[in-house]
Amino acid sequence: MHWADVIANTLMARGDKHLISTGITPSGYIHVGSLRESITANAVYKALKDKSADADFIYLVDSYDPLRKRYPFLPESFEKEVGKPICYIPCPDNCHDNYAEHFITPFLEALGELGIKPRIIWTHKLYEEGKFTDIVDLVLRERATIASILGEVTGRKMPENFWPFTPECPKCGLFTDKVLGYEFPYVHYKCGCGHEGDADIRKGQGKMPWRVEWAAKWKLFGVTCEPFGKDHAASGGSYDSGVRLAREIFEMEPPHPIPYEFIQFKCRGQMHKSTGNVVTGSDALLITPAPVLAFGVLRYNPERHIDYDPGLGIIDIVDEYDKVESLYFNGGADEKEIDLLRAYEIAQPTGVRSKLPLQVPYRHLVSIAQIADSYEGVVKVLKRSMNIDDISEEDMNVLKQRIGCVRHWLNAFAPEEVLYIISPERPDMEISDDERSYIVELLERLRTTEWIGDLIHNAIYETAKGRGLQPKVCFQVLYRLFISRRSGPKLGFFLSTMDKDFVLKRLSEA
C-alpha cells in the first residue's frame, strides 16, 4: 500500500475528523526541499478524502517571526530590520506589501501549480485578531510548568525569569524578553531600548516563543497530523517538547507526526552554467513539469532521502514518470509497481486523465527545442517526425508545460553532453571507404523513406546490418557528419526533426 494510504488509515483509526497542518517562516528564498512537506501533506489529505474522511489542510505562514539575521542576499540597509517581525519589514525588491509576502508568494504559486491548495493562514493575523488570546493567557499562567517541561526535554537550563511570551516593543520594533509581570490582558515589560510598556495579548502585541507556539497552533486548530523536517523529530527536539506541552498544558493528543528526510542536490554531469545559489521550489518547477516533480517525491517514503538532480536526472525522472503513466493506463504493473501507480495518481494536479496522454520521449523534446525556435515550430517538427496528426487540447497543455521546462533547463542546468549544434557545413572529417559506401546505400534508402523517426531509425539500422557493420560505428559517422560529435540524441528521431532535403544533401556530400 502506498505510504499516504497507510498514514490515512492510521489517522482514521484515531478519529473521523482530520486537520493536516504545514507551514514555514518565509525568511528567505524557499528551497525546493520545502515542497516535500506540502506534497507529503497533500498526499495524506488526498488519501483521507479518497476514504471519505472529513479532512482539512492548512498552511501557516509564520509571518510574525523575527528576521534572525541579515542574509547575504539582503542589502546592508536591512541590518536595522534584524529582530523585527517579517510581516512588518519592507519587501527587499519593493514589489510586495512586506518581506514575508515577497518570499512566500512564489512558493504558494508553486503549490498552486502542483494542485496543492491548502487554506493559507497568516500567523501575525491570528495574533492581531485575538485568536490566540485564551491560549496565551493559559501559557502565561502555566509558565512555571512550561519552563520545567522545556528544561527537561531540551536538557538546557531555562532562564530564572522565563516568560512564554515576548512583547513587541512599539518604540524599537523588536521583540523583548524583559518581561516584568502579567495581569490579563497585559504583559508588562521593559525593553532593552529603555521603553517600558504593557503588551495587550488580545491585539498581537507580542508572540509566544516558537516551541510553545507550535503546540499552541495544534491546540488552536485541532491539528491531527503534521509533516515536519526530521531535525524537529530528533530526541529533545521541538516535536518532543510539543508532545508534552500538548498533553500537559493543552490537554490534547499531539498530531500524528510525519518526519521527512531532506531533498538533497546531486548533479550528475557538468552543468554548463553555474547557478551557485539555492534552487527554490519555483526554480525546480521551471525545469521539472509539476506532476513529475510531485511524483518524484511521492514515489518514496517520507523517511527516505531524495536526491534532486537538476542535470541529467531530470530526463531520468520524466522517463520514469512516463513509464509509470503508461503502466497506469495500459496495465501490466507488477506487485512492486502498484505503489508507483498510486504515486502517479496522487501527483496529478487536476486529477487523472480519462485515457493515456500523448507520450513524447523527453529526450526528443530536448532535441527539438534546440532546433525549432518557437513553440509552434516545436509542435510542427514533432508532428512530422512522430507522424502525429492531431494533438488534443489537454495534450497540448502538457506539451506546452514540458517544452517550457526543457527550454529553461537547456538555458540553466542541462549538462554539456545534451547540448549540440548542427554543423551548417559538412565538417572537415575523414571518412573510411566502408563508412562511405554505407552512407551511399543509406542515402538511396532514405530517398524513399517516409520522414518519420522510427522509419529513419530502421533504415539506418538495417543498412548497417545488411553490410555487416556495427551499428555503433555507423551512428558515430552520422553524428560526426551532422553535429561534429561522436554521440548525440536518438539518431532516427533526430534526423527526422531536420528537413529531409538538408539531410540527403549532407549525406551526398560525404
Smaller CB separation from Zn ion, 100 or 292: 100
Separation CA 381–CA 386 (nearest Å): 8
Residue 180 as a binder of Zn ion (CB under 5 A): the answer is no
Q: Which is nearer to Zn ion, 73 or 502 (CB)?
A: 73
Nearer CB in complex with Zn ion: 98/476 = 98
Q: Does 421 bind Zn ion (CB under 5 A)?
A: no
* Selected range binding Zn ion among 172-180, 247-255, 341-349, 483-491, rule: CB under 5 A: 172-180
Number of residues that bind Zn ion (CB under 5 A): 11
144 binds Zn ion (CB under 5 A): no
- The residue (of 94 and 354) whose beta carbon lies closer to Zn ion is 94
Q: Judged by CB under 5 A, does residue 169 bind Zn ion? A: yes
Which residue from 102, 202, 211, 299 is in contact with Zn ion, where contact means CB under 5 A? 102
Q: How far is CA 244 from the centre of its chain?
A: 32
What residues between 107 and 126 interact with Zn ion by CB under 5 A?
none
**74 touching Zn ion, by CB under 5 A:** no
Query: Could you tell me the smallest distance in angstroms from the CB atom of residue 60 to Zn ion?
Result: 20
Reading the block at residue 188, the C-alpha cell is 508588562
191 binds Zn ion (CB under 5 A): yes
Q: Which helix (H) or strand (E) holds 81?
A: none
172 near Zn ion (CB under 5 A)? yes
- Rounded (10°) angle between helices 471-483 and 453-466: 130
AA letter at 495 = L
Residue 8 or 169: which CB sits closer to Zn ion?
169
Q: Where is 438: in which H helix or E strand? A: helix 433-447
Per DSSP, the residues of 380-404 read HHHHHHHT-----HHHHHHHHHHHH
| Stretch near Zn ion under the rule CB under 5 A, chosen from 113-121, 183-191, 267-275, 462-470 | 183-191
Which residues 432-491 are close enough to bind Zn ion by CB under 5 A?
none
Work out how close the CB of 102 gets to Zn ion at its nearest, in angstroms, rounded to a whole number. Answer: 3
Question: Which member of 14, 49, 96, 500 binds Zn ion (CB under 5 A)?
Answer: 96
User: Is 75 near Zn ion (CB under 5 A)?
Assistant: no
Minimum CB distance to Zn ion smaller for 94 or for 350: 94
Interior CA angle at 332 toward 329 and 335, to 5°?
115
* CA-wise closest residue to 217 among 486, 411, 23, 414: 23
Contact 363, 490 (CB under 8 A): yes
Q: Which residue from 422, 412, 295, 406 is spatially nearest to 349, judged by alpha carbons?
A: 295
- Check binding of 93 to Zn ion (CB under 5 A): yes
Among positions 192-251, residues that touch Zn ion (CB under 5 A) are: 193, 195
What are all long-range contacts of 174-181, with beta carbons under 8 Å and residues at least 24 apart? 174/66, 174/83, 174/84, 175/66, 175/83, 175/85, 175/206, 175/207
Between CA 243 and CA 238 the distance in angstroms is 9
- Site for Zn ion (CB under 5 A): which residue of 80, 171, 266, 400? 171
Q: Which residues bind Zn ion (CB under 5 A)?
A: 91, 93, 95-96, 102, 169, 171-172, 191, 193, 195
